[in-house]
Every structure is written in structure tokens, then in C-alpha cells.
Amino acid sequence: MLKRVLTGLIRSHEQTGEKAKDPLLKTRYYRMAADDFWEEVLSAVKKMPGYKVLHEVKSVGEIVLEKKTFTGRIQDITLTLVKINPNKSAIDVYSASRGSLGDLGSNYRTILDIHSALDRKLKDYKASE
């Protein structure tokens, strides 16, 4: 965690992906059809305290959120949902803080928060790569 804070002194964004070095930032997969996955993810993030859905574009699988941190900074968060096959979907998260300076690891914690909420709601559907 200290490493995240030190990295956060200079960096003000974080993202998940296939090639992430940190296992907690790997793309998440779920055994669920794309339409059902979209509805479940949207429902989960709408219930998360402190997060506000700004817009959603189902046709491209994108949900944009906003979150105010305890320091008053605003984070812009983009969830990208991808259909892998008829019964498998994936999600990647990009979170960036507005303004200059680093984020002290808050974007990293935001991604873990979103993953945690999805894992709780969709625990029966979680899949490996």
C-alpha cells in the first residue's frame, strides 16, 4: 500500500487491463451474457455510495462515473464492458483524478472498491481468464 501512495505522489490515474503487473488490476471476467452483465454492473454501481453515473452507452459498453474523494477532488471513472462470447463478459476500469499533482493512491483504491462491489454482487459468475 505504501508503494501505491508513493506512486500516487506523481501519478493521478490508474487502470485495469490484461497485462497489469498488479494482480488486483487485472481485467475481470464473468460467466454472464453481455446484456445481463450490463444490467448487473449498472445496478451495482448505482447503489455504491459516493458514485454518480454521468452517462451510459450500452452500444459501446461504456459507463462513466464520477466520485468525489475525501480531499474534495473529483475522479472520472470509465467502466468498459466487453462481450467475450455469448456467455462470458469482461470489465476494465480507468480512473483519473482531475487537477494536477498525484492522487496518493485514491484511484487505485477506487478500482478495488468497484471490483469488490462487483465481486460481492456477481460472486457466482466470476470466471478466470
CATH number at residue 11: 3.30.310.80
Element (H, E) at 8: helix 2-8
Total number of domains constituting the chain = 1
Does the structure show a pLDDT above 60 at 3?
no
Among the listed residues 93, 99, 32, the one whose alpha carbon sits nearest the alpha carbon of residue 69: 99
The pLDDT value recorded for residue 89 is 97
Distances (CA, A) of 10 to 24, 59, 63, 116: 21, 35, 27, 26
Does the structure show a pLDDT above 70 at 2?
no
Q: What angle do CA 120, 122, 123 make, to 5 degrees?
A: 65
Confidence of residue 16 (pLDDT cuts 50, 70, 90): very high
What single-letter amino acid sits at 88? K
Does the structure show a pLDDT above 70 at 103?
yes
| Gap between the Cα atoms of 63 and 94, Å rounded | 11
**Segments forming the whole domain that contains residue 71:** 2-127
Per-residue pLDDT reduced to its tens digit, 26-68: 999 999 999 999 999 999 999 999 999 999 999 999 999 999 9
Confidence of residue 104 (pLDDT cuts 50, 70, 90): confident
